[in-house]
Amino acid sequence: MKSKRSYVGETYPTSQGEIVEIIESDGSMNITVRFPNGYILKTNLSNCKKGYIKNPYYPSVMGVGYMGVGKYSTKDKKIYSCWYDMLNRCYGDREMDRSYQDTNTHPIDEWLNFQKFADWYVRNEYYCEEPLHLDKDVLDKHSKLYSPDTCLLLPATINTLFIKQTYQRGNCCMGVTKEKNGSYRAQCSVKGETYCIGCYQTELDAFYAYKEFKENLIKQIANEYKDIIPRDTYNALLEYEIEFND
């Protein structure tokens, strides 16, 4: 009986640009390969030669995120989109999304693994007729970290309340723009429309008018969603305060 050829020691490139080494073989249909990071995979020789095999720990998303090993995949579109958007805000082209110009935000290392993020998402998801968005500002507006301790899932309508249009207001504080006549206008976005709160002699007066209006608006919308969002999320919204240096 003819013995099966051993392919141990042979190396092949993958579509991800890595080189795998065959470390075990029992003919061409049953081989074991090792990726550069030590990950072990059972496959066949044909897949190796064609570069079809993939390392689930290879940072294929924004150069940092990876799929990991588990039950979640890109077919879980809602979760994957949320995860991808988070990485894009942290590592993507900021010129493409000027609403997120904070260059120091990043996820906890664990959340670079899609499986870990998806586990958290599923545990914290709740029924809502509109999309749930990932938010890191309600619990701690000064946090630069996306993590289980700093993030919430918010209905899209609520999440838009916390988008900071820093590039639009120039050197003024949040909610305030300077008019050509030297006065200061307090304004706030309400359901996609810009609402003028009033014009004031000083930037500080305009800010406090904005602060009162915006905090009341957040409470109002939180109450509209009281029976939908988790109790902890509801309480965090009621306690949220607008600060001068936001």
Query: Residue written as tokens 């957040």?
Result: 218
Q: What's the chain's Rg over C-alpha atoms?
A: 25
Would you say residue 99 has pLDDT above 60?
Answer: no
pTM listed for this prediction:
0.86
Would you say residue 159 has pLDDT above 60?
Answer: yes
Confidence band for 166, pLDDT divided at 50, 70 and 90: low
Which of 191, 190, 183, 186 has the alpha carbon at shortest distance from 173? 186
pLDDT, residue 187, reads 92
pLDDT digit string (tens) for 71-84? 999 999 999 999 99
Task: Please count the other Cβ atoms lying within 10 Å of the Cβ belonging to residue 245.
Answer: 6
Q: Which of 56-60, 150-154, 178-182 is predicted with the least confidence, judged by mean pLDDT?
A: 178-182
Would you say residue 103 has pLDDT above 70?
Answer: no
pLDDT, residue 98, reads 52
Between CA 151 and CA 191 the distance in angstroms is: 23
Distances in Å between the Cα of 220 and the Cα atoms of 32, 75, 216, 228, 231 are 59, 36, 6, 14, 15
pLDDT, residue 100, reads 53
pLDDT, residue 97, reads 55
Q: Which string of DSSP letters, residue by residue, matches 72-108?
A: --TTSHHHHHHHHHHHHHHHS-GGG-TT---TT-EE-
